Amino acid sequence: MENMGLKMLEIYNHKKVFITGNTGFKGSWLAAFFDHLGVMHEGYALAPDTTPNHFGLLQQAQSFTEANILDTGTLEAAVNKAQPDIIFHLAAQALVRTSYTDPLNTYQTNVIGTLNVLEAARKCSSVKAVVLITTDKVYDNKEQETAYIETDELGGYDMYSSSKACCEILIRSYRNSFLNISDYKTKHHLLLASARAGNVIGGGDWSKDRLLPDIAVATSKNQKVQIRNPRSVRPWQHVLDCLYGYVLLGAKLLNEETAFAEAWNFSPYSHEAKTVEEIAAIARQSWQEVRIEFGRAQDNFHEAGLLILNNSKSIARLGWKPAWNTAEAVDKTISWYKDYYTSGKVSTAEQVKQYMDKINAQ
Ligand SMILES: NC(=O)c1ccc[n+]([C@@H]2O[C@H](COP(=O)([O-])OP(=O)(O)OC[C@H]3O[C@@H](n4cnc5c(N)ncnc54)[C@H](O)[C@@H]3O)[C@@H](O)[C@H]2O)c1
């Protein structure tokens, strides 16, 4: 391994990883990423709630506890049994629309669920690091052109976003209260960091109300897809770009670098932010059968019009940078679905390899 980032990943050799939310879109890709690195991982999540689902297609069920993050006894037992070195916490109620219909479950799963993971980690001496996944939506979004930096004010308009902003406050408070950096190596051996990314795309996501899955499913049925808010601007990024950031961040914590125990943005370059309309046009280039109709949202739940993160800190200090630009990310995503729907092929492992080859060449 020559690339500096890849060199850092060697710290995972002979380590064990615990992934909450491993049955979900990002969690199943993260498990595939660790499979590529040859790192052992275990999972904790609810059963997948879509058919098909990426987790099932990858046949990753062998080392996974199917249980609720709110069941503290089962969670702590699973962590203790696994004896992991690091936990990646991705389990969440991750949909903005669902947070309008089920705010209580959204807050319980996201906020109390995060607290349960922190408690389970603190009680298990093998755990040296926890990377907690929040979102780009944690910022108080002023719909401004300026990209948000990690120290900007937290907020969150809707219940999903505010629950994740609460997670950020919780993580900071938990660190101050129990895992203070000044007590590292004397009173505790655990480092926490949070990771903020958004509008992540990639094959194998069948969640409702996500642009590219909606396009892929409609196209597979030879239907036109209805798309809302064509002018919304988003920092689209491939799931592997943000996961690579999470994994690098985890490597720094495992390497006992206390300066990394804080919040991090992982996003494409600001100039890569594209409108929904532009993304749809790129999708059509990758799969000619894609047919799109633009319209307004039918139910008027609030969605951010403009939300851009500043990724300078991750680039400067973590040595991370986006490897696939937005056009490549959309192409890889639509190609994944095209392969799946036209020939049943699951190209996850192949795409992880292509991604790592690109990182290696940087
Ligand atoms: N996909 C995105 O664009 C995006 C953007 C920003 C942040 N995120 C964050 O990344 C993480 C993963 O998102 P995703 O897109 O993979 O979501 P997902 O909905 O595909 O997966 C969610 C996972 O959490 C698990 N989960 C949900 N409720 C649970 C509970 N009560 N107990 C145990 N497990 C539970 C599910 O079983 C699943 O494994 C979430 O924290 C989400 O908020 C996602």
State the chain's mean pLDDT as an integer: 93
Q: How remote is the CA of residue 211 from the centroid of ligand 1, in Å?
A: 17
Contact 24, 45 (CB under 8 A): yes
- Indicate which residue's Cα is closest to atom 37 of ligand 1: 46
Q: Which residues contact 302 (CB under 8 A, 6 or more apart)?
A: 157, 158
**pLDDT at residue 299, as a whole number:** 58
CA distance 139 to 304: 11
What confidence tens digit (pLDDT) does each residue in 98-112 have? 999 999 999 999 999
**pLDDT at residue 2, as a whole number:** 58
Three-state SS letters, 43-81: EEECCCCCCCCHHHHHCCHHHEEECCCCCHHHHHHHHHH
Domains of the chain, CATH where assigned? 4-361 (3.40.50.720)
Question: Has this prediction a pTM greater than 0.75?
Answer: yes
CA distance 210 to 227: 10
CA distance 100 to 349: 35
Q: How remote is the CA of residue 201 from the centroid of ligand 1, in Å?
A: 13
Say yes or no to pLDDT of 306 above 80. Answer: no
- Ligand 1 pocket test target in 90, 107, 116, 208 with most atoms within 8 Å of CB: 90
Task: Give the atom of ligand 1 at the shortest distance from the alpha carbon of 55.
Answer: 39
Q: How remote is the CA of residue 362 from the centroid of ligand 1, in Å?
A: 30
CA distance 19 to 304: 29
- Indicate which residue's Cα is closest to atom 2 of ligand 1: 200
**pLDDT at residue 92, as a whole number:** 98
Ligand 1 shell residues, CB under 6 Å = 21-27, 45-46, 68-70, 90-94, 109, 133, 135, 197-200, 207
Q: What percent of the chain has pLDDT over 70?
A: 96
Say yes or no to pLDDT of 362 above 90. Answer: no
- Indicate which residue's Cα is closest to atom 43 of ligand 1: 94
**Among 7-21, 79-93, 266-280, where is mean pLDDT lowest?**
266-280
Main-chain phi, psi angles of 196, to 5 degrees: -115, 120
Q: How remote is the CA of residue 154 from the centroid of ligand 1, in Å?
A: 20
- Indicate which residue's Cα is closest to atom 27 of ligand 1: 92
Say yes or no to pLDDT of 89 above 80. Answer: yes
Task: Give the atom of ligand 1 at the shortest distance from the alpha carbon of 43.
Answer: 39
Burial of 161 (0-12, 13-18, 19+ CB in 10 A): buried
Tokens 């993260």 map to which residue? Answer: 30
What confidence tens digit (pLDDT) does each residue in 230-272 have? 888 777 899 999 999 999 999 999 999 999 999 999 999 988 8
Judged by phi (left if over 0) then psi (alpha if -120 to 50, else beta), residue 93 lies in beta
More confident residue, 206 or 362: 206
- Ligand 1 pocket test target in 20, 22, 26, 303 with most atoms within 8 Å of CB: 26
**pLDDT at residue 301, as a whole number:** 65
- Indicate which residue's Cα is closest to atom 26 of ligand 1: 91
**Confidence band, pLDDT 50/70/90 cuts, at residue 307:** confident
**Confidence band, pLDDT 50/70/90 cuts, at residue 32:** very high
**pLDDT at residue 295, as a whole number:** 74
Mean pLDDT in residue range 289-313: 78
Mean pLDDT in residue range 155-166: 96
Cis ω before 52 (30° cut-off from 0): yes
Q: How remote is the CA of residue 203 from the centroid of ligand 1, in Å?
A: 15
Mean pLDDT in residue range 69-92: 98
* Type of residue at 234: R
| Closest by Cα among 86, 110, 54 to 347 | 54
Q: What percent of the chain has pLDDT over 90?
A: 81
Q: How far is CA 8 from CA 1, 160, 341, in A?
A: 10, 33, 37
Say yes or no to pLDDT of 54 above 70. Answer: yes
**Confidence band, pLDDT 50/70/90 cuts, at residue 55:** very high
**Among 21-35, 143-157, 169-183, 224-238, where is mean pLDDT lowest?**
224-238
**pLDDT at residue 247, as a whole number:** 98
